[in-house]
Amino acid sequence: MAKRPPRGFNARRSQQQRIDWDKPAPASTEITDPATPTPQSRPVGEVARHIRSQLKADPQLTDIWIEGEVRSFNRSGAGHYYFDLADAKTDAALSCAFFRRQNRGMQVQQGDQVLAHGSADLYLARGSLQIIVDDLRPIGEGVLQAEFERLFRNLNAEGLFNPERKRPLPTYPRRIGVVTSPSGAVWHDIQQVITRRWPLTALTLSPCLTQGGGAAESISLAIERLNLLTVDAPDLIIVARGGGSPEDLWAYNEEPVARAIFASDIPVISAVGHETDVSIADHVADRRAPTPSAAAEIAVPDRAEEAARVAGLRQAVDQVIDNRLIRMAQDAALSRDRLERAVPHPPTMRIEINRRRQDLEQAISRQLALLRAHQTTATSRLTALNPLGTLQRGYAIVSDSDGEVVTTAGKLRADQQITIQFADGDVKAKTLSVSTSPKESSRDR
């Protein structure tokens, strides 16, 4: 918002400065008798400068929107606009300067009803009050809309809404700072949602005003306070407010709030009003939620979903061990067969073999018993799902003479030796004939 005075103005001012501008006010030593103070005279420049600083310090005269009718419109050769803003009802008028840099050659005419944005200033050369205008709009738009657009345009140009600035939110936030009113339904709703979905986190309420005078400053301070925490610092912030009229929600369209969100080191989710209300704060935030409850949902995972995920991991762990057990049992059976087939059968050898076989079987069953003992508690809930449970329900596993598990009839021929594994033991068998049904043979059973 450059409020640059006309060129002549500056020149004049600096000239005066060289003479007496910055001299301190006449010292009190001039007053000889304290009982009879004499009036002091002051240079014009000093008084004018004082008036000017008073004007600039007054928030009621700085960054304001003024509504009125354009009169005495005059366009200078350099492209600056000079005009009066008049109020037909009260017959009041303010002279305005709208410089080329800001007016960009826009069409303005005598008699236009407009909203002008700017600040009061004193034109020192004439001692006349001027409004230095930096934005002008037709009156139909309404002040709030005009201000929203003005700020949106400025902040957007500055890069506050850039998508590449948006930061990722933590998947499992340890602590969430909540910037809202301590008394409203919003704070209650957020606690409810977080309690239901993810009570593993912690909440820090940073209370603030959510509407009315001072609300924007209060909100931005509440955001800053969360960023200043060194102990129990949050890793996510929710800035939230419930629904209301555009005027109620206005603080979230003010510059201090936008700046505070932009400056926050902690990622921010904003949720202001209802789904259809999109505030400046929403544009700056790392993530926008349509409502405060939705912000809480976005902020944390769901513990029911997480419980299912953990159960799935557990099931996979059980499955790996189950598969390993089945493979061991099959390998053991296979080794026993090979051993029996491979050796000659003199009586002494037979005894030795039997002894070793018993040792081997005992060793295997000890390992199995050990594993099962570890596993009993673990698998009971999942029994119905794992292959051993399946065997106990009456199903059997068929393997061929190489010990490969056979899952389709098509893999077998007639007169082939197979092993059928039941829950309580194995059966060696020979196939009589194989018939596959053409429809189902190709399907994965």
Q: Which residue, 331 or 440, has its beta carbon nearer to other proteins?
A: 331
Query: In whole angstroms, how close is the CB of 84 to other proteins at the nearest point?
Result: 45
Q: Which residue, 147 or 318, has its beta carbon nearer to other proteins?
A: 318
Query: In whole angstroms, how close is the CB of 367 to other proteins at the nearest point?
Result: 7
Query: In whole angstroms, how close is the CB of 62 to other proteins at the nearest point?
Result: 27
Residues that bind other proteins (CB under 8 A): 171-172, 174, 182, 191, 194-195, 198-208, 218, 222, 225-226, 229, 232, 303, 306-307, 309-311, 313-314, 316-317, 320-321, 324, 367, 370-371, 374-375, 377-378
Query: In whole angstroms, how close is the CB of 289 to other proteins at the nearest point?
Result: 19
Query: In whole angstroms, how close is the CB of 168 to other proteins at the nearest point?
Result: 15
Query: In whole angstroms, how close is the CB of 205 to other proteins at the nearest point?
Result: 4
Q: Which residue, 1 or 202, has its beta carbon nearer to other proteins?
A: 202
Q: Which residue, 368 or 406, has its beta carbon nearer to other proteins?
A: 368
State the first-to-last Cα distance of the chain, in angstroms, to the nearest integer.
74
Q: Which residue, 191 or 408, has its beta carbon nearer to other proteins?
A: 191
Q: Which residue, 198 or 252, has its beta carbon nearer to other proteins?
A: 198
